[in-house]
A and B are shown apart, each in its own frame.
Chain A
């Protein structure tokens, strides 16, 4: 689904991505993990075209990412911070996004019901709690039935019930053949969702393989321990 080769990005004197090579498989959930400031968000934003890499190539679904915007019609993005125009209502926000996507006829609004958003949508966005905004964020990402979903800390701020609903939805979409790229600090969550793991540290991919492989490599029983072990630098991938 996504092919990344020799991706480099520098912010001032800081080289955030130092030649990333990674393949993200179609129909699987890939978790991107790594220490803080490892370049996870920069990588995601590069795939979305929000950040322009200095060099290297990216392909999404066989299409080169080169400044043309059409490839994004297949992507659903859930940003980490759900901050929207504060004087609009949730319903208005969703309507705006629908208008911008005339290519999609029938938006998928299931999550509104399953996350119990109904009444909240008629309130102004600045009156909503962070968790409720995050729910609207999720609805917006899933709305256009994208084939690739990029979720940046998707369950941050969600209560356990909503978080479960969202995770169920992710797993259901995965069974239906969707591709997911997820960053999360919650390793137990990735353990539940992810098939593949990309471990990034200091701007380089240190591990790219299945959850099974990372556990075998580090001889750890769960993902959290395995990633911790990689961060210790004990195992060279």
Chain B
């Protein structure tokens, strides 16, 4: 018990300076400012209706994974020498890993949440859009945690920075863009009802799609839901659907973390 506590406090001691370093970078400020500007702009143009939220959701689903992947890999490569210094201290690798992850994920989630929610608060729209706003914040937060983990796995696996960044971009292209195209293609080629169950399984394998479905279920605009969303809605209505998505996202957060930790523990620095 006491070792668990000491790992947690030491991990926090590693996370805090890392987080401070991230917060002070111009990059994080721009990230928050971007969401602030995007949200504010959309709210000004069209008020807080479902269409605004949908446009915002598309921005979030596009930008959060991309920015997190790119910044996450760069962050770990840049921390390389500092990680070596930390590992030369009497600290467990688990502690250092937890500290590094928290030190990045926490500022990224905060910047995203602040950037998106501030305009809603200022416009007094929080009450109207409560449920969909919460879903968006939680979904975007979950995506940040997932892609921070994936970025860590990539940066730990590939020694070479350019290779690592290339792989990060490939992962993003695959999950955010190629995936949609392939689904549409498959559906167009085989318009068979039997496909639906396998499509459902496929959507569980893409965290970006999962968050999109969660958002669309909230917005209650099935016409704009996309194919997997419509299928999903038919199989899981309401709370069950959200529970399935939440469970899948939790798995998606844990898996890269466990893999990253496994790699980190065995890595030669």
Contact = CB atoms under 8 A, between A and B. Distances in A.
Interface in A84-101: 84-88, 92-93, 96-97, 99-101
B85 to A, nearest CB: 6
Interface in A51-77: 51-52, 69-73, 75, 77
B206 interface: no
Interface string B40-74: 00000000000000000000000000000000000
Name B's interface SS.
helix
Nearest to A124: B24
B4 to A, nearest CB: 15
Nearest to A87: B24
A86 B95 CA distance: 22
Contact of A50 (B20, B24, B268): B268
A97 B86 CA distance: 8
Interface residues of B, number: 28
A81 interface: yes
A50 B88 contact: yes
Contacts of A71: 90
B88 A87 contact: no
Given A85-B17, A99-B13, A69 B90 contact: yes
A49 B93 CA distance: 10
A175 interface: no
A85 to B, nearest CB: 4
Interface in B26-42: none
Contact of B88 (A75, A81, A96): A75
B81 A72 contact: no
Contacts of A83: 80-82
A101 B89 contact: yes
A69 B91 contact: yes
A51 B10 CA distance: 22
A73 B10 CA distance: 14
Contacts of A92: 17, 20
B84 interface: yes
B92 interface: yes
Contacts of B85: 77, 79, 84, 97, 140
A71 B86 CA distance: 14
A52 B268 contact: yes
Contacts of B13: 96, 99-100
Contacts of B87: 48-50
Nearest to A150: B88
B269 A88 contact: no
Given A96-B13, A100-B14, A85 B21 contact: yes
A48 B88 CA distance: 6
Interface of A: 9, 11, 45, 48-52, 69-73, 75, 77, 79, 81-88, 92-93, 96-97, 99-101, 103, 140
